[in-house]
Amino acid sequence: MCIRNRGVAVAAALLSMLLVVAGCGTGSGSDDAAAASGTPSRIVSISPTATEMLFAVGAGDQVVAVDDQSDHPADAPRTALSGYTPNLEAILAHDPDLVVLTDDNNDIVAGLDRVGVEVLKIPAATNLDETYAQIKQVGDATGHAEAADDLVVSMRDEIEQIVRTVPLREVPLTYFHELDDTYYTVTDDTYLGQIYSLLGLRSIATGQNGYPQLSPEFILESDPEVIFLADSQCCGVTPEKVAARAGWDELRAVVDGQIHVLDEDIASRWGPRVVDLVRDIARIVSGVDGQPSN
């Protein structure tokens, strides 16, 4: 009787082990390996900047969904998810084991915590060093620390090389960076302002508010030497429309043909493509003294 019962117990244990092995076999081998190592295999990003970081460090294959604004790179799995008004149920429908975001809108972090989903918050960087640190943070969290370190080294080196190509000036060039057609702009203390400063420019805007709204009269009085438009895609602003504004045809930037359209996404997503932003501005600045800028 004891021998019979023992045999039944052994058989049951073997059957249980077989069921476990069979169950594991039905899943993805890469998902199983990731789970075993603690590396996320189903990442959801609801931040365009975070999405670009994830793909840049080599974690693209782990990303299962990105928000509706994440249009770079082109092969990112774009969905209707919103980073501005995130919906917990919509995010969970993608079965994430890591959600990367910029802001805690709709108290989404607490909701994800309640259901046990890991969250990596990457707030808007305030300077280049923070961008580098965030890229490394993304690399550490996704199992791509070495690739992230290499990317940061490459970015630092490339930006330093670009800065060296810009002609030295005793007096910085003055600029007006137009965020929208109501004349919001940036000061030298902002992320963009610091990049402009690296390249020998000074904003016509000052003050404690890093993103002030200027009056047309103030812009005319300041007479910037260069105008950068970051509102062409959003607001349809063109150099021709700027030149047609009342009194603006006498501005130095207009007379000298120094009105330049920037890619709004590159100028507002302070991640891996900030190198492209630095390169674009450096090219423009190098052409201000009458040299061709393209």
Closest CA to 276 of 46, 72, 25, 79: 72
Question: Which tokens belong to 224?
Answer: 């910037």
- Reduced to 3 states (helix: H, G, I; strand: E, B; else coil), residue 230 is coil
DSSP structure class, residue 271: S
pLDDT tens by residue, the chain, 294 residues: 343 443 434 344 433 433 333 333 334 444 554 444 579 999 999 999 999 999 999 999 999 999 999 999 999 999 999 999 999 999 999 999 999 999 999 999 999 999 999 999 999 999 999 999 999 999 999 999 999 999 999 999 999 999 999 988 889 999 999 999 999 999 999 999 999 999 999 999 998 899 999 999 999 999 999 999 999 888 899 999 999 999 999 999 999 999 999 998 999 999 999 999 999 999 999 877 644 444
Q: pTM for this one? A: 0.83
Candidates 195, 223, 210; CA nearest to 281 is 195
State which H helix or E strand residue 101 sits in: strand 98-101
For residues 76 and 46, the answer to whether their CB atoms sit within 8 Å is no
Q: Which H/E stretch holds residue 121?
A: strand 118-121
Q: Which helix (H) or strand (E) holds 151?
A: helix 145-164
pLDDT of residue 37: 56
